[in-house]
Amino acid sequence: MRLTLRLVILLVAVTAAVGILFALFEARSDRRALFHEIENRAESLGPYVQDHVELLLAPQRSADLQNLLSRVETRAGLFGIAVYDDQGNLLTATSGLSQELNHTPSVVVHAISSNAGRSEFLTLRRNSLFLYALPLHRGPSTIGAACLFYDASYIDATASRDWRNAIDALLIEAFLIALITFLLIRWGFAQPVARMAQWIHEMHKGAALMASPLPQDGLLQPLAKEVERIAKTLSAARATAEEEARLRASAQSLWTAERLRIHVRNKLRDSPLFVISNREPYSHVRSGKSPQVVVPPSGLVTAIEPILLACDGTWIAHGSGDADRETVDANDRLRVPPRDPRYTLRRVWLSAEEEDGYYFGFANEGLWPLCHIAYARPLFRTTDWEYYKSVNQKFAKAALEEMKRAESPVVLVQDYHFALLPLLIKSERPDARVAIFWHIPWPNPQAFGICPWQRELLEGLLGADLIGFHIQTHCNYFVESVDAALESRIDWDHFAVSRGGHRTLVRRYPISVAFTGVPAGPSLLAQLDRPPLLESLGVQALFLGVGVDRVDYTKGIPERFRAIERFLEKYPLYYKQFTFVQIAPPSRTHIPRYQELMIEVKAEADRINDRFAVSGWKPIVLLGSQHSHEEIDAYYKAADLCMVTSLDDGMNLVAKEFVAARDDEQGVLILSRFTGAARELRDALLVNPYDTDQLAEAIRMALEMSPEERQARMQRMRRLVKEHNVYRWAASLISDLVEIRPEAAWPPPAPETAEKTESTEKTDDSSR
Q: What is the pLDDT of residue 765?
A: 40
Q: What is the pLDDT of residue 526?
A: 39
135-191 pLDDT, tens digit per residue, is 998 888 888 999 988 888 888 788 888 888 888 888 888 888 878 877 777 676 666
Q: What is the pLDDT of residue 288?
A: 76
**Residue 104 near residue 131, CB atoms below 8 Å:** no
Q: What is the pLDDT of residue 158?
A: 83
Lowest mean pLDDT among 120-134, 494-508, 530-544, 552-566: 120-134
Pairing of strands 410-414, 433-437: parallel
Question: Residue 631 and residue 485: Cα distance in Å, rounded?
Answer: 47
Pairing of strands 127-138, 118-124: antiparallel
**Distance (Å) of CA 547 to CA 374, 566, 641:** 19, 17, 9
> Residue 237: which pLDDT band, with cuts at 50, 70 and 90?
low
Q: Mean pLDDT across the stretch 336-340?
A: 89
Q: Is the pLDDT of residue 282 over 80?
A: yes
CB count, 10 Å around CB of 233?
A: 11
> Residue 744: which pLDDT band, with cuts at 50, 70 and 90?
low
Question: Residue 87 and residue 108: Cα distance in Å, rounded?
Answer: 10
640-672 pLDDT, tens digit per residue, is 999 999 999 999 999 999 999 999 999 999 999
- Which secondary structure element, helix H or strand E, spans residue 702, and what is its range? helix 692-704
**Structural domains present in the chain:** 2-151 (3.30.450.20), 260-513 (3.40.50.2000), 530-724 (3.40.50.2000)
**Distance (Å) of CA 39 to CA 50, 432, 533, 705:** 16, 96, 88, 109
386-395 pLDDT, tens digit per residue, is 999 999 999 9
Question: Residue 384 and residue 593: Cα distance in Å, rounded?
Answer: 17
Lowest mean pLDDT among 120-134, 185-199, 217-231, 348-362: 217-231
Pairing of strands 141-151, 290-294: unpaired
The mean pLDDT of the chain is 85
> Residue 242: which pLDDT band, with cuts at 50, 70 and 90?
low
- pLDDT greater at residue 518 or residue 406: 406
- pLDDT greater at residue 35 or residue 428: 428
Q: Is the pLDDT of residue 249 over 60?
A: no
Question: Residue 412 and residue 410: Cα distance in Å, rounded?
Answer: 7
Nearest C-alpha neighbor of 123 from the set 185, 70, 79, 65: 79
**Residue 347 near residue 332, CB atoms below 8 Å:** yes
- Which secondary structure element, helix H or strand E, spans residue 150, and what is its range? strand 141-151
Question: Residue 64 and residue 70: Cα distance in Å, rounded?
Answer: 10
**Distance (Å) of CA 651 to CA 437, 439, 731:** 13, 8, 18
Lowest mean pLDDT among 435-439, 524-528, 538-542: 524-528
Question: Residue 721 and residue 665: Cα distance in Å, rounded?
Answer: 13
Q: Mean pLDDT across the stretch 714-736?
A: 94
CB count, 10 Å around CB of 745?
A: 8
**Cα distance between the two ends of the chain:** 77
Q: What is the pLDDT of residue 102?
A: 76
> Residue 524: which pLDDT band, with cuts at 50, 70 and 90?
very low
Cite the beta strand spans of 18-126 per DSSP E.
80-85, 90-93, 118-124
Q: Mean pLDDT across the stretch 543-558?
A: 95
**Residue 517 near residue 338, CB atoms below 8 Å:** no
Residue 203 neighbours by CB under 8 Å, 6+ apart = 209, 231, 234, 235
The answer to whether the predicted template modeling score (pTM) of the entire model surpasses 0.85 is: no
Question: Residue 414 and residue 730: Cα distance in Å, rounded?
Answer: 13
**Distance (Å) of CA 262 to CA 266, 270, 342, 345, 433:** 6, 14, 15, 22, 20
Q: Is the pLDDT of residue 364 over 90?
A: yes
Lowest mean pLDDT among 227-241, 389-403, 423-437: 227-241
Q: What is the pLDDT of residue 64?
A: 77
Q: What is the pLDDT of residue 541?
A: 93
